[in-house]
Homo-oligomer: A and B are copies of this chain.
Amino acid sequence: MNKVKKLIATVVLSAITMSAYAGSEIETLINMLHENGMVTDAQYGRLVDELKQNKIQTVKKEAKVQQQLVEATKPSDVEVEVKGGVTVKTRDGKFSTKVSGRVQADAATYSGDPEIGDGTEIRRARINLQGTIYNDWGYKLQYDFASTGANGKGIADAFLSYNGFDNMQIIAGNFKDPFSLEYEASSNHVMFTERSLVNAFSAGRHIGTMVSTKQKHWSLAGGVFGDSLTATNGTNHAQDEGWGLGARATFAPINEKNKMVHLGLGLNYRDTGGFDIAQFKTQAETHISGVNIVDTGTITNVTDFTKVGLELASVMGPFSAQAEYITTSVSRNNASDLEFNGWYVQAGYFFTGESRHYKKGAFGGVKPKSNVGEGGIGAWELGLRYSTLDLIDADIDGGEADSVTLGLNWYATPTLRFSANYIDVLDVQGGTYDDQEPRIFQVRSQWAF
């Protein structure tokens, strides 16, 4: 209001102080007629007065309209965005809320040995609520309806974060331990329908607190963690839950658009608490059957175990490659220590020219050059992976497996993905399924945002 008045006053003043209404034909005419003696001096005086008054009126009117126009075109305080989910944020950046979700629907058929049942599955069905409060604080709650059960089993992310320091984040609640390039990427964005055999060593999510910094060329994260949501001492009240420490450092000497080299190192220590057990197992890069092709079973007398992971990845335009090696050392009471390890290497190529998106130590989603529904054909990617996992050491015979996966991904839009994977388990030695090599064909349809 005050501003409006000021503006009008300024404009009016400048109009008054202007010696003449530059180029005004009426003013010129009046002056001419006065010069030519067609109007008297008195008449001329009156005309000049009226002219001045009218100029002021006109300028006032125009200024008022301009002010009204400024008001009318002022953007709203709240921005609403819809692109899959809904994001609402205040224009000052103080608050935001996003409601979103994902559904992955799978089907698989199995051949070879062992006999595994074909079937279908909703792999993940998640809803997210996340946002910003008072500039510096972030929150998230993500629940997986495909994974419900006791002890809040379906809770994925449930945390609070503080981002008030430069490039640094403090986070508390339930979230992923910082470990493994493959696991850091969302399941929406992993190249194949399931992560590699080496995901048997995934550090998972725990309740804890972590400090991290993510720069363009490097990232560093370290935290202290309690146990997972489902691991509860509820059934054995006298025992402490497990706890752990985790840290991850990444380095990207090259990190340009469509060109990237990534190196990473992860450390993850877990104390087993009062339960003294550990288990490592994995299905054959599938999830529907429930058959763990290698499985240590419950290892007892375990005091603690430590995982060390090495990461290597690169993007060169439409081509991407990534490899990880993870070793897990298990300390036991009254028994020899154990050492398990595994690695995978994978490569992908976009026929349609897209590039894998890398940001601050992790791969993100794929954005097709042209979307289906907008006249395009989406992005098409072919991927190949070899992975191997060895769960045999000392008295523990969890088996060893090698497998190769061929995958085709069709990203119809940035939020829609269809995948077909053919997994050939090349070799299983030891464990329950010694010398049995299943083959799996599985498909997925996915929306995620």
Residues of A in contact with B (beta carbons under 8 Å apart) = 23-26, 28-30, 32-33, 36, 38-40, 43, 46-47, 50-51, 53-54, 57, 61-62, 65, 68-69, 71-73, 76, 78, 80-86, 88-90, 95-97, 99-101, 103, 105, 107, 114-122, 125, 127, 129, 131, 133-137, 139, 141, 143, 145-155, 158-160, 164, 172-174, 206-208, 226-227, 229, 232-241, 273-274, 288-291, 371-374, 412-413, 415-416, 445-447, 449
Give Cα A159–Cα B125 distance, bound, in whole angstroms: 10
Residues of B within 8 A of A151 (CB): 146
Q: Would you call A149 and B150 a contact (CB within 8 A)?
A: yes
For A57, the closest partner residue in chain B by CB is B23
Give Cα A137–Cα B24 distance, bound, in whole angstroms: 61
A237 and B289 contact, Cβ closer than 8 Å, known pairs A33-B33, A141-B125: yes
A120 and B273 contact, Cβ closer than 8 Å, known pairs A72-B69, A137-B412, A146-B155: no
Q: Would you call A137 and B416 a contact (CB within 8 A)?
A: yes
Q: Would you call A158 and B81 a contact (CB within 8 A)?
A: no
Partner of A25, one of B47, B71, B99, B237: B47
A157 to chain B, nearest CB (A): 9
For A69, the closest partner residue in chain B by CB is B68
Q: Would you call A82 and B90 a contact (CB within 8 A)?
A: yes
Give Cα A131–Cα B107 distance, bound, in whole angstroms: 24
Q: Would you call B273 and A117 a contact (CB within 8 A)?
A: yes
A434 to chain B, nearest CB (A): 16
Q: Would you call B133 and A447 a contact (CB within 8 A)?
A: yes
A447 and B139 contact, Cβ closer than 8 Å, known pairs A86-B88, A122-B152: yes
Partner of A240, one of B114, B117, B131: B117
Q: Would you call A372 and B136 a contact (CB within 8 A)?
A: yes
Q: Would you call A413 and B133 a contact (CB within 8 A)?
A: yes
A374 to chain B, nearest CB (A): 6
For A273, the closest partner residue in chain B by CB is B117
A137 and B373 contact, Cβ closer than 8 Å, known pairs A23-B53, A103-B160, A152-B147: yes
Partner of A101, one of B30, B129, B207: B129
For A138, the closest partner residue in chain B by CB is B447
Residues of B within 8 A of A24 (CB): 50, 54
A373 and B26 contact, Cβ closer than 8 Å, known pairs A71-B73, A99-B86: no
Give Cα A262–Cα B49 distance, bound, in whole angstroms: 71
A18 to chain B, nearest CB (A): 15
For A43, the closest partner residue in chain B by CB is B32
Residues of B within 8 A of A148 (CB): 148-150, 152-154
Give Cα A80–Cα B69 distance, bound, in whole angstroms: 23
For A224, the closest partner residue in chain B by CB is B107
Q: Would you call A115 and B238 a contact (CB within 8 A)?
A: yes
A11 to chain B, nearest CB (A): 14
A163 to chain B, nearest CB (A): 9
Residues of B within 8 A of A26 (CB): 25-26, 29
Residues of B within 8 A of A447 (CB): 133, 137, 139, 160
Q: Would you call A82 and B97 a contact (CB within 8 A)?
A: yes
Residues of B within 8 A of A84 (CB): 95, 97, 131, 133, 139
Q: Would you call A158 and B207 a contact (CB within 8 A)?
A: no
For A129, the closest partner residue in chain B by CB is B101
